Amino acid sequence: MASKIGLIIRREYLAKVRNRSFVVMTILSPLLIVGMIVLIAYLAKVNDDETRVVAVLNESSFFMEEFQPTKNLSFVQFEGIGLEEAKDSTNALEYYGLLYLPNEQNVEKTAKSSYLFTKDNPNTNITQKLENIFQRQLRQDRLQKLGVSSEQFSTVEAPFEINLATFEGEKSMKGINEIKAVIGGGFGYAIMMFIIIYGGFVMRSVIEEKTSRIIEVIISSVKPFQLMLGKIIGTSLAGLTQFTIWIISASILLALAVMLFGIDLAQLSGDSPMPAGPMGAGMSQIEGMDSEMLLYAQEILDIPWGLLIVSFFIYFVLGYLIYSSIYAAIGAAVDNETDTQQFIFPIILPLMLAIYVGFFSVFSNPHGPIAVAFSLFPLTSPIVMLMRLPGGIGEGGVPLWQFLTSVGVLIVTFLGIVTLAAKIYRTGILMYGKKPTYKELVKWLKY
Amino acid sequence: MDHILVAKNVSKTYGDYTALRNISLEIPTNCIYGLLGPNGAGKTSFIRIINQITHQDTGEVLFNGEPLAPHHIAMIGYLPEERGLYKSMKVGEQALYLAQLKGLSKAEAKTRLKYWFDRLDIGDWWNKKVQELSKGMAQKIQFIVTVLHEPKLLIFDEPFSGFDPINANLIKDEILQLKENGTSIIFSTHRMESVEELCEYIALIHKSEKILDGKLSDIKKAYKNNIFNIGLQAEKDAHALLKTLEEKFNILSSHIDLAENQLDFKVQLPNSNTAGVLTELSSMANINRFEETIPSANDIFIQTVNNKDNGK
Which 3-state string (H, E, C) describes chain B? CCEEEEEEEEEEEECCEEEEEEEEEEEECCCEEEEECCCCCCHHHHHHHHCCCCCCCEEEEEECCEECCHHHHHHEEEECCCCCCCCCCEHHHHHHHHHHHCCCCHHHHHHHHHHHHHHCCCHHHCCCEHHHCCHHHHHHHHHHHHHCCCCCEEEEECCCCCCCHHHHHHHHHHHHHHHHCCCEEEEEECCHHHHHHHCCEEEEEECCEEEEEEEHHHHHHHCCCCEEEEEEECCCCHHHHHHHHHHHCEEEEEEEECCCCEEEEEEECCCCCCHHHHHHHHHHCEEEEEEECCCCHHHHHHHHHHHHHCCC
The C-alpha of B196 sits at a distance from chain A's nearest C-alpha, in angstroms, of 27
Whole-number pLDDT of residue A105: 83
Tell me if chain A has a CB within 8 Å of the CB of B12. Answer: no
| B15/A446 CB distance under 8 A | yes
Same-domain check for residues B214 and B232: no
The pLDDT score that the predictor gives to residue B183 is 93
Write out chain A residues lying below 8 Å of B78, CB-based.
Answer: 216-217, 220
CA dihedral A33, A36, A38, A40 (to 10 degrees): -140
- CA A434 to chain B, closest CA, distance in angstroms equals 15
- A15 and B53 within 8 Å at the Cβ level: the answer is no
Per DSSP, A377 falls in state S
**Same domain? B39 vs B73:** yes
Degrees to nearest 5, angle at CA A114 with A112 and A118: 135
Flag if A217 and B84 touch (Cβ within 8 Å): yes
Cβ atoms of residues B270 and B161 within 8 Å: no
Q: With beta carbons less than 8 A apart as the criterion, state whether A329 and A424 touch.
A: yes
Q: Is the pLDDT of residue A303 over 50?
A: yes
> Around Cβ A240, how many Cβ atoms within 10 Å?
13
DSSP-assigned letter for residue A368: S
When pLDDT is cut at 50, 70 and 90, the band that residue A246 belongs to is confident
CA distances from B268 to A396, B231, B251, B281, B302 (A): 101, 14, 6, 14, 20
Q: Residue A264 phi/psi, 5° resolution?
A: -90, 110
Domain count, chain B: 2
Q: Where are the CATH 3.40.190.10 domain residues in chain A?
A: 52-150
Q: Please tell me the total number of residues recorded for chain A in this structure.
A: 447
Contact residues, chain B, for A216 at CB < 8 Å: 53, 78, 80, 82-83
- For residue B151, give its domain range: 3-222
Q: Which among B122, B70, B81, B79 is positioned nearest to B98, based on CA atoms?
A: B79
Please indicate, yes or no, if residue B283 is contained in any of the structural domains. Answer: yes
- Interatomic CA distance for residues B156 and B77, integer angstroms: 8
Asked whether the predicted pLDDT for residue A244 surpasses 60, the reply is: yes
Asked if the C-beta of B210 comes within 8 angstroms of chain A's C-beta atoms, the answer is no
B213-227 pLDDT, tens digit each: 888 888 888 888 788
Cα separation, A445 vs A425, whole angstroms: 10
DSSP H helices in A262-393:
265-271, 283-302, 305-333, 341-357, 369-376, 381-388
- The enclosing H or E element of A409 equals helix A400-428
Q: Does B101 touch chain A (CB under 8 A)?
A: yes
The predicted-structure confidence for B181-232, as pLDDT tens digits, reads as follows 999 999 998 877 778 888 899 998 988 998 888 888 888 888 887 888 888 8
Is it the case that residue B245 has pLDDT exceeding 50? yes
Q: Say yes or no to pLDDT of A115 above 50.
A: yes
Q: Is B80 in Cβ contact with A212 (below 8 Å)?
A: no
Q: Say yes or no for a CB contact (<8 Å) between A216 and B53.
A: yes
Amino acid at B168: A
In a domain, residue B297? The reply is: no
The amino acid sitting at B251 is I
Indicate the helix (H) or strand (E) that contains A90.
helix A83-92
**Residue B10 included in any domain:** yes
How distant, in Å, are the alpha carbons of A233, A313, A328, A353, B6 from that of A243?
Answer: 15, 14, 22, 25, 53
B188 shares its domain with B238:
no
Query: A113 with A104: CB under 8 angstroms?
Result: yes
Name which of B15, B78, B87 is nearest A220 (Cβ-Cβ).
B78
Q: Which of B78, B97, B142 sits opposite A7 (nearest CB)?
A: B97
**Residue A214 to residue B100, Cβ atoms within 8 A:** no
Does residue A288 or residue B84 have the better pLDDT? B84
| CB nearest A221 (choices: B73, B84, B89) | B73
CB contact under 8 A, B145 and A217: yes
B89 touches chain A (CB under 8 A): yes
Count CA within 13 A, CB hemisphere, residue B136: 11
For the residues A198-208, what does the mean pLDDT come to?
90
Asked if B100 reaches chain A (Cβ–Cβ under 8 Å), the answer is: yes
Residue of A216, A224, A447 with shortest CB distance to B82: A216
B234: left (phi over 0), alpha (psi -120 to 50) or beta: beta
A60: left (phi over 0), alpha (psi -120 to 50) or beta: beta
- In whole angstroms, give the CA distance from residue A141 to residue A174: 35
Q: Tell me which chain B residues have a C-beta less than 8 angstroms from the C-beta of A213.
A: 80, 82-84
B185 in the same domain as B271: no
Find residue B188's DSSP bridge partners: B35, B157
Minimal Cα distance from B135: which residue of A? A212
Q: Which of B202, B171, B184 is nearest to B76 (CA)?
A: B184
Judge if B14 and B32 occupy the same domain: yes
Task: Tell me: do B170 and B258 sit in the same domain.
Answer: no
Q: Average of pLDDT values for A192-212?
A: 89
Question: Between B51, B53, B86, which is nearest A214 by CB?
Answer: B86
Residues in a beta bridge with B13 = B18
> Taking all residues of chain A, what is their mean pLDDT, rounded to a whole number?
80
Cβ contacts of B88 on chain A, cutoff 8 Å: 15, 19
Q: Verify whether the Cβ–Cβ distance B88 to A15 is below 8 Å.
A: yes
Query: Domain for residue B147, yes or no?
Result: yes
Residues of A in contact with B80 (CB under 8 A): 213, 216-217, 220
Q: How would DSSP label each residue in A126-181?
A: HHHHHHHHHHHHHHHHHHHHTT--HHHHHHHH-------B-TTS-B--TTHHHHHH
Considering just the CA atoms, what is the radius of gyration of chain B in Å? 25
**DSSP character string of A331-363:** HHH-SSGGGGHHHHHHHHHHHHHHHHHIIIIIT
B103 shares its domain with B147? yes
Crossing angle between the packed helical segments A305-333 and A341-357, to the nearest 10 degrees: 160
| pLDDT tens digits along B103-150 | 899 999 999 999 999 988 888 888 998 888 888 888 889 999 999 999
Nearest to B83 among A208, A216, A222 (CB): A216
What does pTM read for this prediction?
0.72
Could you tell me the CATH number of the domain that includes residue B273? 3.30.70
CB contact under 8 Å between A213 and B100, yes or no, is: no
Which of A213, A221, A224 comes nearest B83 by C-beta? A213
Question: Both B237 and B100 in a single domain?
Answer: no
pLDDT in tens, A38-93: 888 778 777 666 778 888 888 888 887 778 887 778 888 888 888 888 888 888 88
Q: Are residues B32 and B72 in the same domain?
A: yes
The verdict on B147 and B46 lying in the same domain is yes
Phi-psi region of B35 (alpha: psi -120 to 50; beta: other; left: phi over 0): beta
Q: How many CB pairs under 8 A join A and B?
A: 60
pLDDT at A135 over 80: yes
Q: State the nearest Cα–Cα gap between A433 and chain B, in angstroms.
A: 13
Q: What is the pLDDT of residues B8-49, one digit of tens each?
A: 999 998 878 888 999 999 999 999 999 988 888 889 899 999
| Cβ A115 vs Cβ A83: under 8 Å | no
A205 pLDDT above the threshold of 80: yes
How is residue A93 annotated by DSSP? T
Rounded to 5 degrees, φ, ψ at B302 are -65, -40
Interface check B78 vs A, CB under 8 A: yes
The answer to whether residues B199 and B79 belong to one domain is yes
CA distances B7 to A195, A210, B4, B211, Å, are 45, 29, 10, 15
Domain annotation covers residue B165: yes
Spatial contact of B267 and B230, defined as CB atoms under 8 Å apart: yes
> Residues of B with CB below 8 A from A19's CB?
88
| CA dist list (Å): A411 to A190, A325, A385, A387, A415 | 20, 14, 15, 19, 6
Residues 6+ apart with CB under 8 A from A138: A107, A108, A111
Residues 6+ apart with CB under 8 A from A444: A333, A423, A424, A427, A428, A436
Which of B217, B190, B194, B193 lies closest to B204 in space, CA to CA?
B190
- B303 inside domain: no
Q: Which of A18, A214, A444, A447 has the most B C-beta neighbours within 10 Å, making it the best mutation to test the interface with B?
A: A214
Q: What are phi and psi of B234, to 5 degrees?
A: -75, 150
Residue type, A295: L
CATH no. of A52-150: 3.40.190.10
CB-based contact A447 B14, cutoff 8 Å: yes
Answer whether A222 sits within 8 Å of B101, measured CB to CB.
Answer: yes
* Backbone φ and ψ of B140, nearest 5°: -65, -45
Distances (CA, A) of A396 to A371, A372, A385, A390, A399: 15, 14, 15, 11, 8
pLDDT tens for A251-302 read 888 788 777 766 555 444 444 444 433 333 344 444 445 566 666 677 777 7
Same domain, B276 and B169: no
Quote the ipTM score: 0.79
Residues of A whose CB is below 8 A from B85: 212, 214, 217
CATH of the domain at B108: 3.40.50.300
Chain B: nearest CA to A441, how far in angstroms?
Answer: 12
Which residues does A356 contact at the CB level (< 8 Å), separation at least 6? none
Mark which of B201, B222, B243 sits at the end of a domain.
Answer: B222
3-state secondary structure of A436: coil
Burial annotation A110-121 (CB, 10 A radius, 16+ → b, else e):
bbeebeebbeee
Whether A221 and B53 lie within 8 Å, measured CB to CB: no
Question: Comparing C-alpha atoms, which of A130, A129, A156 is closest to residue A142?
Answer: A156
Stretch among A1-10, A173-182, B90-99 having the lowest mean pLDDT: A173-182
Nearest CA in chain B to A221: B102
Which one has a higher pLDDT value, B76 or A284? B76
